[in-house]
Structure 1
Amino acid sequence: MSVLVTGGAGYIGAHMLLALEDAGEPAVALDNLSTGARWLAPESAKFVEGDVGDEAVLARIFAEQGVEEVIHFAGSILVPESIRHPLDYYTNNTANTLRLINACVTAGVKRFIFSSTASVYGTPERTPISEDAPIRSITPYGASMAMSERILEDAAAAHGISFVTLRYFNVAGADPQGRAGEIGKPTHLIKAAAQIAVGVRKEKLQIYGGDYPTPDGSAIRDFVHVSDLAQAHMAALARVRGKGGAITLNCGYGRGYSVYEVVEAFRRVTGTDLPYDVGPRRAGDPPQLIADNAAIRTALDWRPRYDDIDFIVETAIDWERRLAERDAPQRRKSGA
C-alpha cells in the first residue's frame, strides 16, 4: 500500500513526503518538475516524473504501486500570475484535478486529501474566517481551487470517496532539520525577506500596500509553518483511513501578523534591520486573512508545534543559507 503525493518535488509536497518517511509510510511522488526539483523529494519515495493530468500515467502508478490514498498538491499557486494567465490556472488546477479524481474513480482509490487555499474566500466579511464563510473568490487562483473543491465533493458523493479538503493560509518556513524548503524565485513575503537577510538578493524588500484598513496599514496574514501543514495532512490521512466521510477544514494558526510585524521578526532573528520600500497594493490581495481553526483542532486533533513567527523566520533563513551553500560551486563556476 502506497500514498501518492502529487507535486512531491515541490515545496509543500516535499515536506509531506518527509512526514510520511518519518512515519514509516511508503509513498510515491508524482511531479512534472515544472517548478519543483527532483532532489527535494526524499529518496525513500518512489519518484515518477509526469503530469498529474495524464490519466495514462496515473493508471500505471495506481496499478504498479498499489496506491490506496492520494494527497494532491500539484498545481499553480501564484495570485498575480493567475490574474495574468487565468486559463493556465483553470487548466493546471481545475481540469487536471478533474482528471486525477477521474483516475481515482477508475482505479477504485477511495481516500483523497486535497490541498486547497484560503483564497477561495476572497475578501471575507468577518475575521477570523470560518469554514461556512461564503466562497467569493476574487482571483482565478481562488476560483480554480473552489471549482476543484466542488468537483471533489460531487465525485465523493457519487463514488463513495472519503476526503479531507484543507484550506491552508500562508505557508512559510522550512523543515527544522534542513531537509527541504522553498526553492525558485521568491513569490512570498518570508522567502523574499529571507533571501535579502542572507545576502542572496541585494535589493530592498518590496511591500505591496501600506494603506490597508489594518492597524499599521500593511496586509495581515495567518502564517503557518510548512511542517505543521504536513502534519495536518498526516492527521487528515488518519481520518480518511478511520472514520472516513467528507470534511473541509481551514488550516492556520488563528492569529495574524502584518507585513511590518514580519519585518520586525526578521530584525529580532538577525539582529539587523531589513531594508524595504512600500509600493502600491497588488490586485487580488485582501487586507487580512486569518483562520478560524477551531474545526480542524477538533476534527483532526491537530496540535501544531511551530506556531511562532520568529521560528518560522529562523527556519526560512537557515534554508536560504543552505541553498546558498549548495549553489555556491555553480556560481563560482559561472563567475557570478
Structure 2
Amino acid sequence: MDEIPVVLVTGGAGYIGSHAVLALVDAGFPVVVFDNLSTGVRSAVPEGVPLIEGDIADTDHIAEIIQGFQIGAIMHFAGSIVVSESVEKPLKYYRNNTLNSLGLIETCVRTGVKHFIFSSTAAVYGEPETYPIDEDAPKRPINPYGSSKLMTEQMLLDTSAADGLNTGILRYFNVAGADPAGRAGQNTPAATHLIKVAVQAALGVRSGISVFGTDYDTPDGTCIRDYIHVSDLADAHVLALRHLIGKGGNLLVNCAYGRGFTVREVLTAVEKVIGRPLPVTDAPRRAGDPPALVAKADRIRDLLGWKPAHDSLEEMVETALAWERRVADEAKARRVS
C-alpha cells in the first residue's frame, strides 16, 4: 500500500461523518474535518482533529485546505438527506448534493487529490423489480434525493475515466445506532431515522412515533428496510480507502447486511429493549418512499473483506438508546445549571 494520505472529511461533524472520523483516527489516518455545522456539531469531532468551518460551495476555501494540509484523499459526506424534503424542495437537493459535489470534484482534479470516497444511497435504485438489490440493478430513483446522488456517482465515474481520480462509491441502506463506546451518535434533533425517533419517543423526548404507510405490499403493510450499524459502515469506509490506496481500482458497493425488517418489526425490537410499549400512531405514506429496499451485500464482503461487528438489530437499538439517554441527561443538566 502507498503512503498514508491526510484525509479531508466533508460533513465530518455530522452523524455518519463523525463515526467515519473516529474509524479513520482509530486506523491511524491523519484527518481534517470540514463542516458548516448546519446539522453537525462541533463536539462530534474528536480532540486533536482540526475542524474547519465553511461552505462546501466555496471551492477556493476547499483548495486552500487541500494545499495547506496536503490532503491526499477526500471522504464526502456533506449534503442533504431527507427524502420527503427532497420532494418538496428539489432544487435544494440538486444544489447541495449535485452542484456542490461537482465543485468539490473539480477542485480535487485541480489540486491533485488522488482518492475520493462518496457517500451515496440505496435511493438511487428507486423501486427495484427484484430483491435483493445488487449493485448492477437498474437505477431509477423516485425522488430528487436519489437523483441528486446518482448524478454525483456518474460525475465521479466520468471524472475517474478522464482524469484518473480513484473513486469509491458506497451506497448506504438504512443507517442506525451509535458508537458502542459512546463517543458519537446521531446529534440532529429533528432527524427522521426510524430507530432514533423510536428511542426518543421511548425516552419522552418526542411525544410519539408515526408509522408512515400501513398499506404497502409487505407482510405487515409497512415499509421494509435493510439496516446497518453506523460503526460497521464507518469501518467500511476505512477499508474502501485502503482499497483505493492499495491500487485495488475503483469501487462501487452496497453497504448493508442483506436482510430487511419492516417498520413494525423495528418498533417491536425497540419495545423489547426498553421493556414497554411505544406511543405509535399510523399515518399516511410519505412522498418518495419505496415499499422495500433490501441489499445484496456480497460484493463489499468479497472485495474489502468487510466483516460486520455490530449486525444485530438489538445492538443498533441499544447503542442508539444509550446515546439518546446521554443527550437527554446532558440537556437536563444544562437546564438545571
TM-score tier by shorter-chain length is: over 0.9
**Which of the numbers 189, 193, 199 marks the counterpart of 1:188?**
193
Large movers: runs of 4+ above 4 Å: none
Percent of residue pairs bearing the same amino acid type = 55
Structure 1 unmatched runs, 5+: none
Q: Is the 8 A contact 2:224 2:261 kept in 1?
A: yes
Q: Distance in 2 between matches of 1:146 and 1:176?
A: 32
1:213 paired with 2:217, answer yes
1:286-319: CA deviation from partner (whole Å, max 9, x where unpaired): 1110110011111111111111000100001000
Structure 2 unmatched runs, 5+: none
Residue pairs, 1:26-105, within 5 angstroms: 26-105=30-109
> For residue 16 of structure 1, what is the aligned residue in structure 2?
20
Q: Secondary structure at the match of 1:48?
A: strand
Residue type matched to 1:144 in 2?
S
Q: Is the 8 A contact 1:214 1:220 kept in 2?
A: yes
1:146-172: CA deviation from partner (whole Å, max 9, x where unpaired): 000000111111111111100010001
Q: Distance in 1 between matches of 2:145 and 2:167?
A: 21
Q: Secondary structure at the match of 1:282?
A: coil
RMSD: 1.0
Residue type matched to 1:72 in 2?
H
Quote the offset at 1:44 in angstroms.
2.5
Quote the offset at 1:186 in angstroms.
2.9
> For residue 170 of structure 1, what is the aligned residue in structure 2?
174
Q: Distance in 2 between matches of 1:244 and 1:68?
A: 16
1:323 paired with 2:327, answer yes
Q: Distance in 2 between matches of 1:153 and 1:224?
A: 25
Residue pairs, 1:252-291, within 5 angstroms: 252-291=256-295
Residue type matched to 1:119 in 2?
A
Q: Distance in 1 between matches of 2:204 and 2:242?
A: 42
Q: Distance in 1 between matches of 2:90 and 2:335?
A: 35
Q: TM-score, normalised on structure 2?
A: 0.97
Quote the offset at 1:331 in angstroms.
3.1
Q: Distance in 2 between matches of 1:73 and 1:110?
A: 17
**Which of the numbers 232, 238, 242 marks the counterpart of 1:228?**
232
Quote the offset at 1:326 in angstroms.
1.5
Quote the offset at 1:246 in angstroms.
1.4
1:200 paired with 2:244, answer no
1:40-77: CA deviation from partner (whole Å, max 9, x where unpaired): 11122111101122111111111111100001100000
Q: Distance in 2 between matches of 1:212 and 1:146?
A: 25
Q: Distance in 1 between matches of 2:57 and 2:306?
A: 31
1:179-229: CA deviation from partner (whole Å, max 9, x where unpaired): 11111213121110010112222x221000111100111111001000000
Q: Is the 8 A contact 2:240 2:251 kept in 1?
A: no
Q: Distance in 2 between matches of 1:200 and 1:178?
A: 19
Q: Distance in 1 between matches of 2:334 and 2:145?
A: 35
Quote the offset at 1:116 in angstroms.
0.2
1:161 paired with 2:165, answer yes
Q: Distance in 2 between matches of 1:327 and 1:81?
A: 28
1:295 paired with 2:299, answer yes
Quote the offset at 1:329 in angstroms.
3.0
Quote the offset at 1:23 in angstroms.
1.4
**Which of the numbers 252, 263, 266 marks the counterpart of 1:248?**
252
Q: Distance in 2 between matches of 1:321 and 1:5?
A: 28
> For residue 107 of structure 1, what is the aligned residue in structure 2?
111
Q: Secondary structure at the match of 1:211?
A: coil
Residue type matched to 1:219 in 2?
C
**Which of the numbers 118, 123, 129 marks the counterpart of 1:125?**
129
Residue type matched to 1:200 in 2?
V
Which stretch shifts more, 278-287 or 239-248? 239-248
Q: Is the 8 A contact 1:98 1:151 kept in 2?
A: yes
Residue pairs, 1:309-320, within 5 angstroms: 309-320=313-324
Quote the offset at 1:24 in angstroms.
2.0
